[in-house]
Structure 1
Amino acid sequence: MPADRDALRGALKRTASALKHDGVPFALAGGYALWAHGAPESENDVDFVVAEGDVEKAAAVLDAAGFEVVRPPEDWLFKACTDGVVVDLLHRVVGEPVTADLLARSDEMDLLGVRLPVLQATDLLSSKLRAMTEHYCDVGALLPHVRAVREQVDWTRLRSETAGNDFAVAFLFLADRLGITSA
């Protein structure tokens, strides 16, 4: 069941504002970052990335801001809950640590009245494609997002970063055949 969009947007703004106010380096990630770049709006949760060294500071900041901080068994994220919305704060993406370089190349954007860093479209698609496996490979859900941001993607870099994932290669082949990429 999709979460309430107003609640999702409110959680996004509260999270970004708290992290920004206390100087925690971060970037918007996931579906809402793709939305910021022009893709369809997310209906599930809100995702941010922080460097591994900033996890405890980010958790403390959000706890002090009234979020319920949850430490799931997965060791690559923590969750912050507010108003019925789960905000995921990832410090590893597809097994790789979130780096200062990744955060530094984020795009500064105005979103919902808040200026915040947003991961670049290429980085977002790279992580989504590299995460595809035989257990989860929903190309139909990804196609509208890729179509929406295609002009913002560095296709050469994306192909290089995803070359080791056969599902990603197959997706890019399909995107080429559909005329989405600049192959």
Structure 2
Amino acid sequence: MTDENRAALREALRCAASALKDGGPPFALAGSYGLWAYGAPEPVHDVDFVVAEPDTEAAAETLAKADFIVDRPPEDWLFKARPIGAPDVTVDILHRVNGRPIDAADLTEAQQCDVLAIRMPVLPPSAILIQKLRALGEHDCDLAALLPATRAIREQLDWDRIEDDTCENPYAAAFLTLVARLGLREKA
């Protein structure tokens, strides 16, 4: 990733968070940038925010007023916002994660963090890792991609919660076995 791309992603994060803070609805930073807020390596792909499913349209309106182009992909669990003038930069606004709607209660567990000099709600690292592990499947099972972030924030993770909340996913179980064998967590 070039410094220019990194700067564009950071600016999109800042602008989207500022717009949502000012115009609503309630939101939280999630995904890899959410983990970055807790000390994980900086991501290179996109920015993820979550909003409660009933607030999806309000979030789209807020971002459109803040000079984002709102795209509605075929997937019905998110919309994409791209800053005008930066079409290659994507901010994903998720209202459903792993098939489950985001609700107001999900947002209440977010922690206030300073991210790029803006105080904003960020989902807890355990909740974000749970979402990432639940998304693993036979067509998307890159365990190695999760290791750098997990290694960086391992002391902040609630391993029992992660194991309990992902026990139905065999790929998540494989990842938890891997991190235990690598010494990143205590063995269960």
TM-score (norm 1): 0.97
1:76-105 CA-partner distances (Å, limit 9, x unpaired): 000100123111000011111112121111
Q: How does 1:9-24 map to 2 (within 5 A)?
A: 9-24=10-25
In the alignment, which residue of structure 1 is the partner of 2:133? 129
Q: CA deviation at 1:146?
A: 0.5
Identity %: 55
Matches within 5 A, 1:16-165: 16-82=17-83, 83-84=86-87, 85-165=89-169
Q: What is the number of equivalent residue pairs in this alignment?
A: 183
Question: What CA distance in whole angstroms lies between the structure 1 residues aligned with 2:64 and 2:8?
Answer: 18
Alpha-carbon distance between aligned partners in 1 of 2:113 and 2:42, rounded to the nearest angstrom: 16
1:4 aligned counterpart, secondary structure: helix
Q: Secondary structure at the match of 1:108?
A: strand
Amino acid at match of 1:169: A
Deviation sequence 1:35-74 (CA, Å, 0-9, x none) = 1110000101111000001000000011111100001110
Q: Under a length normalisation based on structure 2, what TM-score does the superposition of the two structures give?
A: 0.94
One-letter amino acid of the structure 1 residue matched with residue 118 of structure 2? V
* Distance in 1 of aligned mates of 2:178 and 2:117: 37
Superposed counterparts of 1:158-173, under 5 Å = 158-173=162-177
| Distance in structure 2 (CA, Å) of the matches to 1:182 and 1:37 | 20
**CA deviation after TM superposition for structure 1 residue 22, in Å:** 1.1
The 2-side partners of 1:157 and 1:99 are apart by 19
Q: Which runs of 4+ in 1 moved over 2 A?
A: none
Preserved CA contact (<8 Å) 2:133 2:166: yes
2:182 aligns with one of 173, 178, 181 = 178
Is there any run of 5+ residues in structure 1 with no aligned partner, and where? Answer: none
- Counterpart residue identity of residue 102, structure 1: D
Matches of 1:14 and 1:113, distance apart in 2: 12
Structure 2: give runs of 5+ residues left out of the alignment.
none
Q: Which moved more, 1:93-102 or 1:72-81?
A: 93-102
Quote the Cα distance in structure 1 between the aligned partners of 2:162 and 2:110: 16
The structural deviation recorded for 1:181 is 1.1
